Amino acid sequence: MTTKTATLATGAVPSAPASRGIPFAALLRRPEAGAFLGLVAVLVFFTVFGGVAFLKPGGMASWLNVAANLGIIAIPVGLLMIAGELDISVGAMVPFGAMTVAVISGHYGLSIWLGIAVALSFGVIVGLINGIMVIRTAVPSLIVTLGSLFAVQGIVLGLTVLITKSTSVALATEGPAKALFGDFVLGGQLQVMVIWWLIATAAYVFFVHFSRFGNWIFAMGGDKVSARNAGIPTDRMTILLFVLSSTSAAFVGLCQAMLYNSAQVAGGQSFIFNSIISVVVGGVLLTGGFGSIVGIFFGTITFAIVNQGIYYTDFDRNWSALIIGVLLLVAVLMNNTFRKMALSYSPKKK
């Protein structure tokens, strides 16, 4: 495998020699460079037009809470995209996780820990089904997970109405479970999900960038057939990534149910496109094989700031969708530029 091929497969960026390389230029060739610059630009923009309230604890908490709930889903979705796959069933797994814990622990009054275990178990099962269907049928993952999206939505709606005669279920949670999954911390403004998001991000950074599994994921996105021929367990990795995606969505759903003391059948659809937008803004290519966890982290924060920052300005709220759309287009162009810089770079010979 040539140096250029290896770079394409892993998303790695060749480093310049220490004696001649410019550190800043080297940083610009990183996959997360465009995401970081976009984050800085968005922060400056809303600080100028939103005033100091945007950066006060209450203002920061508003977009950090959004980023945390979205980020836990966006990272595994981003890993799937790096590997050349896509999971849109997360839009159904969020209400699925919420309704599962609400029905078991709220409607039937059983242990909250049982509700959590069952919700996460169903997340694993749906992920297994998605992964196995993709590798056994060779049907594009977009189509497979689209089918899962509608199937899970139907199951949630049908069983909830059948069992509870309603589309919403109340849930009262107390004790350690409430403190761990559905409470506010640090003055009652930040959701505990922010802590889970930071822990998950750190774990994924190690998993992707400091272990062989990360190289496997990038290689799968570069060329899955070559990766398989090189001995990489592509089938098992694909299933694992789908399990992580669906289970993460179920986790976010159950945490939201415990936080707001209720669960709704509707909801969760916004996570589909919002997670994809965050991932793309974070520097991940839709074609796979390129990206980083840090970039997805920055992209998620950027999206959350845009999503919430509009309420701190005097702009018409009806323009928020337009701003998000322009942001996505600009981010794609920036990330494509930085990717070309990374792949075309070659150190000068002495």
Residue 344 lies in a domain: no
User: What CATH number is given to the structural domain containing 164?
Assistant: 1.10.3470
DSSP 195: H
Residue 170 main-chain phi, psi, to 5 deg: -80, 150
Nearest-angstrom CA–CA distance, 10 and 223 = 10
Residue among 221, 299, 329, 292 nearest 27 (CA): 292
Q: How far apart are the first and last CA of the chain?
A: 24
Quickly count: other Cβ atoms within 10 Å of residue 111's Cβ. 12
Q: How many angstroms separate the CA atoms of 79 and 296, rounded?
A: 9
Q: How far apart are the C-alpha atoms of 75 and 150, rounded to whole Å?
A: 23
In a domain, 32, yes or no: no
Kindly list the averaged pLDDT for each block of 10 residues, start to end, along the chain of length 350: 41 41 61 82 84 81 93 96 94 95 93 95 96 93 95 94 92 89 86 95 94 91 89 94 96 94 88 91 85 92 88 78 76 71 60
The total of structural domains in the chain comes to 1
Q: Quote the mean pLDDT of the chain.
A: 85
In a domain, 289, yes or no: yes
Number of other residues whose CB lies within 10 A of the CB of residue 17: 10
Distance CA 342, CA 81 (A): 19
Count the Cβ atoms, other than its own, within 10 Å of residue 183: 16
- Is 17 contained in some domain? no
Residue 18 lies in a domain: no
Structural domain range at position 192: 38-338
> Does any domain span residue 61?
yes
- Confidence at residue 16, expressed as pLDDT on a 0 to 100 scale: 37
Check residue 348 and report its DSSP letter: P
Query: Does residue 132 lie in a domain region?
Result: yes
Three-state DSSP at 246 gives helix
How far from 59 is each of 52, 308, 311, CA to CA, in Å?
Answer: 9, 9, 10
Q: What digits encode the pLDDT tens for the residues 15-58?
A: 333 334 446 566 666 777 778 888 888 888 888 887 777 788 88
Give the Cα-Cα-Cα angle 295, 200, 147 (nearest 5 degrees).
80
pLDDT (tens digit per residue) in 282-333:
888 888 888 899 999 999 999 998 888 888 887 777 777 787 778 767 777 7
In a domain, 240, yes or no: yes
Q: In degrees, to the nearest 5, what angle opens at C-alpha 244 toward C-alphas 12 and 148? A: 115
Q: What does the pLDDT read at residue 38?
A: 83
Instruction: Note the pLDDT of residue 12.
Output: 45
